[in-house]
Chains A and B, each alone.
Chain A
Amino acid sequence: VSGLFHSILGLPRSGKTTYLAALWHLIDAGEAETKLVLDKLAGDHAYLNRIVEAWRRCDEVPRTSMGAEEKSLSMHIHERQSGIKAVLAFPDLSGESFERQFAQRICPEKYVRGFGEDGGIALFVNADRPSDGITLLDIGTAVGGGPQEEPQTAHNPSPAQQEQAEQTPAAEKQKPPADAWRPSFVPEQVKLVDLLQFLQMPPFERRRRRLAVIVSAWDVVTPVSLEPADWLSREMHLLEQFLRNNPESFEVRVYGVSAQGGDVKGAAKAELLKLSKPSLRIRCVGPNASPHDLTAPLVWLSGGD
């Protein structure tokens, strides 16, 4: 039995805990065809059992807060085809931990140790939230003059802004603006690239790692025929370009995952609850993935496929 420790990265509400809950149900219940199955139930599963209860009720899975982070979660699995056994371990770090790492440049020692173990990285992004980054192309459209027209900035004020600035009393000019820059203003994909760049320098061991980008809430993505890799290059250009241009650090695959199967806050909940096999709610799209098999990314991260 080998031990594999897969690190999980993702900002708050990126779908990490919901994925773990659905994964636990999937391999425990044995209702759907999966590449990995639960080999034995041994150890402490209290946290997994707690989050899976919410998943089974089609409730929102409670987020992991910084105070409630688990040491690590482990699952004794075997590969259905080969029979190879392994213990998969994951940290369940809160998204706020990654926000703090980005803003304060610190991280727990166990996080560093985790990247020294055999295993890959699951990087979570959520397809169901508005883009928080503005590109030059977006600004060009917004000002209506196309990208050749210079955007209005503090260094290049419009005539109206100049006039207002002249009329503002000096004391007021010295006050910091109400919307002073904060690390939380940084777009998600910039933070993610920064978190990945940490892994390319000490104290992290620099080596090539398998990295599965898991796009959660895949059920909201249109068109439905879109491939997850194409979604990444359409929606997160910076992250996609960074991963593409750092092949010495990352071997990348992209998966689309709907762990809940739909919007559990809406009318879909009643329909999802009617399914005789809750595992059929799950959707997974990506290389060598069967329709309901959330284990496909883990098989690849574990060195398979």
Chain B
Amino acid sequence: MISDRAGETYRLARSHTEGIADLTEIPRSDTVVFLLDGDRVANAAERASAIQGARQMLRALLDNGSLDATSVVQMVTTKIDRIAKAEDPEAARAAVAVFRDRAAADFGARLGSLSFHDIAARDPEGLFDPAYGMDALLEHWMRSRAPAPARTRGRLEPKSEFDLLLNRTPAEEM
């Protein structure tokens, strides 16, 4: 199953981190894929915002308990055909390389795995094959893996009688 939401939801959640608890699909995911927009990376004025947005989202999910040492995270740079045709492709690639090094150094040890990938889903000029890079991602997503250890359920802040009942119920009965 693939889950997706509007980008605006994620943008709001990283700005107001209380909203991260509502992204219930993230802790349940076998793989969490972050998309770094290659079109924005190709644009010198947008590059830093695109890169830092992806980095901040990763940090927000980690710092607020949605990702942990069992999480499998893939950071995917999309539309790399746009980067190849950027005004200064080397500068764009260098910025992505710096981002990857820093992300691996700062967050790699806090995750189960952190890998980096490039894709070009549909290059109109044919420089890259259709769905370039997607095969490796799909193969990774389909790979069977040992289930992650069950997480300890945190106690809810009781807001109703149902919450109180839930808090009184031992986890194994759930």
Bits for B50-67, please: 1 = Cβ < 8 Å to A, else 0.
Answer: 001001100110011000
Using CB atoms, name the residue of chain B closest to A76.
B63
Residues of chain B contacted by A273 (CB below 8 angstroms): 44-45, 47
Q: Once the chains are docked, how many angstroms separate the CA of A273 from the CA of B44?
A: 6
Using CB atoms, name the residue of chain A closest to B51.
A29
Report if B163 contacts A (CB, 8 A).
Answer: no
Residues of chain B contacted by A42 (CB below 8 angstroms): 17, 63-64
Interface residues of B, count at CB 8 A: 24
Report if B48 contacts A (CB, 8 A).
Answer: yes
From B48, B60, B63, B94, contact of A56 by CB (8 A):
B48
Report if A49 contacts B (CB, 8 A).
Answer: yes
Expressed in whole angstroms, the minimum distance between the Cβ of B33 and any Cβ of chain A is 20
Expressed in whole angstroms, the minimum distance between the Cβ of B59 and any Cβ of chain A is 5
Residues of chain B contacted by A56 (CB below 8 angstroms): 48-49, 52
A28 near B16 with CB under 8 A, answer no
Expressed in whole angstroms, the minimum distance between the Cβ of B125 and any Cβ of chain A is 25
Segment among A94-102, A255-263, A274-282 that sits at the interface with chain B: A274-282
Using CB atoms, name the residue of chain B closest to A47.
B15
B46 near A25 with CB under 8 A, answer no
Q: Once the chains are docked, how many angstroms separate the CA of A42 from the CA of B60?
A: 7
Q: Once the chains are docked, how many angstroms separate the CA of A40 from the CA of B56?
A: 10
B63 near A41 with CB under 8 A, answer yes
Bits for B80-115, please: 1 = Cβ < 8 Å to A, else 0.
Answer: 000000001001001100100010001000000000
Expressed in whole angstroms, the minimum distance between the Cβ of A112 and any Cβ of chain B is 29
Q: Once the chains are docked, how many angstroms separate the CA of A47 from the CA of B48?
A: 18
B91 near A274 with CB under 8 A, answer yes
Best-buried of A31, A40, A41, A42 by chain B (most CB within 10 Å): A41
Report if A68 contacts B (CB, 8 A).
Answer: no
From A25, A40, A52, A276, contact of B63 by CB (8 A):
A40
A46 near B64 with CB under 8 A, answer no
A41 near B94 with CB under 8 A, answer no
Expressed in whole angstroms, the minimum distance between the Cβ of A86 and any Cβ of chain B is 16
A276 near B95 with CB under 8 A, answer yes
State the majority secondary structure of interface residues on B.
helix
B15 near A44 with CB under 8 A, answer yes
Report if A176 contacts B (CB, 8 A).
Answer: no
Q: Once the chains are docked, how many angstroms separate the CA of A27 from the CA of B63?
A: 15
Q: Once the chains are docked, how many angstroms separate the CA of A270 from the CA of B45?
A: 9
Given contacts A58-B45, A276-B95, A277-B98, contact A43 B52 (CB under 8 A): no
Given contacts A41-B17, A42-B64, A44-B15, contact A276 B98 (CB under 8 A): yes
> What are 24 residue pairs bridging A and B, where the CB atoms are less than 8 Å apart in the complex?
A28-B56, A29-B55, A29-B102, A30-B102, A30-B106, A31-B98, A38-B59, A40-B63, A41-B59, A43-B17, A44-B16, A45-B14, A45-B15, A45-B16, A45-B17, A46-B16, A49-B15, A53-B49, A56-B48, A58-B45, A273-B45, A274-B44, A274-B88, A274-B91
- Identify 12 new A-B residue pairs, CB closer than 8 A, beyond the known A43-B16, A46-B16, A270-B44: A30-B102, A41-B56, A42-B17, A44-B15, A45-B14, A45-B15, A49-B14, A57-B45, A57-B49, A273-B45, A274-B44, A276-B98
Residues of chain B at the chain A interface (Cβ within 8 Å): 14-17, 44-49, 52, 55-56, 59-60, 63-64, 88, 91, 94-95, 98, 102, 106
Residues of chain A at the chain B interface (Cβ within 8 Å): 25, 28-31, 38, 40-46, 49, 52-53, 56-58, 270, 273-274, 276-278
